[in-house]
Amino acid sequence: MKRKALDIKESPQVKRQKEPVPDYCDVQTRKNDNGNILWPASSEAIEIARDYLRECAAAKAKTLIVPDKDADGLDAGVIIHRTLTALGAEASSIDVHLVGKGKSIHDEEEREAMSAKNPKYIIVVDQGSRPAPPVVDDPDVKSLIIDHHLSDDFPKDAKVVSACHYPPVATSSLLTYEICKTLHPDIASSCGYLCVMGTHGDLGNTLKWDPPFPDMKEVFKTHTKKATNDAVSLLNARKSPPPSLASSGLINTARRTSKFDVISAWSALLSATSPKEILTNPRLLSARAEINEEVERQTHTAPKFSKDGKIAVFRIHSAAQVHPVIATRWAGHLKSSKLEIVLVANSGYLPGMVNFSCRIARCARNRDPPVNIISSLKAVADLDTTDLVQRMGESFARGHKEASGGIILEKEFEELMVLMKVGEKPDPAEESGEKVVKTKTKTKTVEKSPQKNTLSNYFGKKS
């Protein structure tokens, strides 16, 4: 008698539901006693900034705009320039100071360079902040700081409007736009695309622009998302972007090159009247090609992990500012139940220094409690029993909770890596040859994947 073949049915694989990634605006806002939303900064600070800009334009005196080098800072700077001229200031009385490579506005040589231009008004935008003397030494110079980086300390005697404590935290270009758009009827139409470019440059092109962010539908009718985001890509020196991500990245490419050519990005923004004009700028296109090539060359560096598995560290050596780009890229790809932070350290950007950028891994964005890069970096540094924290100074763990980094001496960076226990194997109790995947119905053991196209192969590729 013949035996019947067994009817074997493969148990259907349960599709793993992707956890929804919350939109940037999906946060609890601050409200006043009347229940009104407090955003993008305190009402008092916003009015102080508006009064300052009105006074500055009416004085027709020498004004110096000091924007940060990225798309957010440069777009905010151009919004201020257009607002002042709309209010009656002469364009010839407005100058720009672009901080040098690896420098900050607090460095003495930068303070002297700003003073040498003999301004009566100085507007500092998106530079981050810390306790410091006045922006310049001349007591007759009036300073305004517009920022969104996490800080409660600012240069002495400056007027300040900061978005850092008013979630969802506005970018500097968005904060500037909200300050300026009520000062003249032309600002909303002439600067809306600048606001979008700067904001997408910092927060990405998937932003939904939900309240309390302003409704930008009219901007996207006039200037398509494709053109706007393509320009961001040139400004920010991202890799050639997808169709929906083009104008703001182009602006950032020039400052990422080894030549640190920020002035080309500023000039392109200042002279353009739409994102499309930026897309044909030959210098920015050349810079993007240079950065794309360098990112591709550096991005195959293999990571090492902290002993607890929470931090992935990539070490590169490049004269170009590609470490933030690579950090953002790998933050979107590396996955682990323990991984929280991707850190890319560049020992070739400034002699004797390590410039490093940190991003929250995409797989850790919904963790509870939320990952805070600044707190995590400081917690590691606090493990030191000597004076490491003091030696690293004010350029360590600056920026945002979600995107931070620093510029420190090579020796101090190596000490930090030792404290992180980078490259050390986990304790035997934490190691396992098998990966356990938990489902709602049962726990199953997953054998090693037969897949040949692995991260190990990728990192082993020759550049």
**Cβ atoms 154, 105 nearer than 8 A:** no
Which band of pLDDT confidence, cut at 50, 70 and 90, is reported for residue 446?
A: very low
Q: What is the pLDDT of residue 251?
A: 64
Kindly calculate the radius of gyration of the chain based on its CA atoms and give it in whole angstroms.
Answer: 24
Which pair of tokens denotes residue 255?
């400052």
Percent of the chain scored above 90 by pLDDT? Answer: 66
Q: Please state the rounded mean pLDDT for residues 126-155.
A: 94
Return the number of other C-beta atoms located less than 10 Å from residue 407's C-beta: 21
pLDDT, tens only, 275-295? 999 988 898 888 888 888 999
Q: Please state the rounded mean pLDDT for residues 365-375.
A: 93
Per the prediction, the chain carries an average pLDDT of: 86
Q: Which amino acid is at 450?
A: P
Q: Give the H or E element holding residue 50.
A: helix 43-59
CA distance 425 to 368: 26
Q: Reply yes or no on whether the pLDDT at 329 is more than 50.
A: yes
Percent of the chain scored above 70 by pLDDT? Answer: 83
CA distance 194 to 181: 12
CA distance 150 to 299: 29
